[in-house]
Chains A and B, each alone.
Chain A
């Protein structure tokens, strides 16, 4: 289980804040939040923005996407948002088969770039290797910590607990949805969640200003009657 010093957390927070600022430049505005997954060697193994508007899914917060990005490799979220991966289990679709198809197409693309013909490799052994790799990565997440520019919401805090990530670092409170003390204190209810609020004037103010800039612009994806501010 990795633990960061305050200085290390500050460094990662500054990296995350720099990235969070970029999301305000996009045409399709997203909440300017960015998160980093840090492994045992204190290296960034995954990172993400929020994609609730692009994915049209209110639950696609940066923390959940960074986890999936690490588990399933780089462009999983983009493929899903283009409806090229189906992520549900019913009579129309098996999620595991959909993910297998995604990996097959990913490897085919890599192989074609390397001009290697490996069609014979797509078999049970191949699928078992993929499955084991995913499970290994899911286990690796238990040794990671997460750095995020804004307090994770109740959904994300509980998701981090389910994954086994213990240490959470953030520099700005989330008064509307925060699960680390602002709305609910899930870290007091469950033993294996350690919250580290890095209350540094520079970082906190920068994160708050990003939120203010977003709210000032309004959410173009929300319906007219739900939009509380005009589109600027």
Chain B
């Protein structure tokens, strides 16, 4: 017996979940009173060394009575800058005793933190800037989780009932099922469940389009009738047939907006993690969110082998969740 689905876990880019990775750098320490001036003296040199890679690093760290100023990857300060710093510190000390700068090694985070958790943990090594990521982590409510798990079980059942290899997919809009399909892999290697569910959505979109064409033709016909001032039984019967067709088609296309484009704003629930073909087909179809159950270790394209939904070069991105079983 399968363990029960108890929760859903978002599949995030690696950058959201990775541990801290440290690289060595160097800093020197000055008294609070001269920190601002020292930073001004050093800032161009620091930025030249770090360039764009390390914009997440703050340039100084405050201690109780002093401030540590980041130098960068080099463990020395150029002579001219060193002289300026010494001069400034002499002024502050009102004596000629000070004549050397002590440089110490530190470890800093190689990557910018993406989550609050990362920011808090990684800032213990060296202070960091935190910039909110483009895509926030989606926190599902308990009601949403339960609702999605039910829909997921429906896709699993459809896979068992109608799939030749027991995989299933449903596509929903506002929690209403728009399309559903089991796979047909044993008869056609490309008939995976998501491909067929997308095809059912397309079937309905074509119906909507055909209805529009029919209405347009009806309007033109009525214009001709009015123009000719002729009405006969045959045309009345034809209109009646069109009305019947329309009401019949409406059953098929309930819940779908009249101007729907592909699968925008639709959710997909899958019994199995989709392969590269299916994951990319969902992307081409502009799906909004994908929720799947069993991982596909060898060919899964949303978690196991690749995270297609996170690739920046692609022109559409969507949320992905997988089940957690108790």
A interface residues with partner B (beta carbon < 8 Å): 52, 55-60, 64, 67, 71, 81-83, 86-91, 95-96, 134, 138, 153-159, 162-164, 175-177, 179, 183-184, 186, 189, 221-223, 226
Question: Which of A134, A162, A164 is packed against the most chain B CB atoms within 10 Å?
Answer: A162
User: B276, A221: Cβ atoms under 8 Å?
Assistant: no
Does residue B291 face the partner (Cβ distance < 8 Å to A)?
no
Q: What is the CA–CA distance of A186 and B183 in the complex, to the nearest angstrom? A: 24
User: A56, B205: Cβ atoms under 8 Å?
Assistant: yes
Does residue B189 face the partner (Cβ distance < 8 Å to A)?
yes
Min CB–CB distance B156 → chain A (angstroms): 14
Q: Which of B195, B277, B284 contacts A52 (CB 8 A)?
A: B284
Closest to B202 in A: A57
Q: A-facing mask of B147-188, CB < 8 A → 1, else 0?
A: 000000000001001110000000000000001111110011
User: B205, A184: Cβ atoms under 8 Å?
Assistant: no
User: A55, B206: Cβ atoms under 8 Å?
Assistant: yes
Min CB–CB distance A229 → chain B (angstroms): 14
User: A154, B190: Cβ atoms under 8 Å?
Assistant: no
User: B286, A177: Cβ atoms under 8 Å?
Assistant: no
Question: Which of A57, A83, A134, A189 is packed against the most chain B CB atoms within 10 Å?
Answer: A57
User: A89, B285: Cβ atoms under 8 Å?
Assistant: no
User: B162, A154: Cβ atoms under 8 Å?
Assistant: no
User: B209, A56: Cβ atoms under 8 Å?
Assistant: yes
Closest to B163 in A: A89
Min CB–CB distance A195 → chain B (angstroms): 15
Does residue B308 face the partner (Cβ distance < 8 Å to A)?
yes
Segment of B14-22, B65-73, B309-317 engaged in the interface with chain A: B309-317
Q: A-facing mask of B106-122, CB < 8 A → 1, else 0?
A: 00000000000000000
Q: What is the CA–CA distance of A138 and B188 in the complex, to the nearest angstrom? A: 8
Does residue B235 face the partner (Cβ distance < 8 Å to A)?
no
User: A89, B281: Cβ atoms under 8 Å?
Assistant: no
User: A59, B198: Cβ atoms under 8 Å?
Assistant: yes
* Set of chain A residues within 8 Å of B200, measured between Cβ atoms: 86-88, 90
* Set of chain A residues within 8 Å of B243, measured between Cβ atoms: none
Q: Which of A81, A87, A138, A222 contacts B261 (CB 8 A)?
A: A222
* Set of chain B residues within 8 Å of A226, measured between Cβ atoms: 261
Contacts A64-B190, A95-B196, A162-B189; is A57 near B285 (CB within 8 Å)? Answer: yes
Pairs across A and B, CB under 8 Å, 15 listed: A55-B202, A58-B198, A59-B281, A83-B203, A87-B196, A87-B200, A89-B163, A89-B182, A89-B183, A89-B193, A90-B181, A155-B276, A156-B277, A163-B190, A221-B261
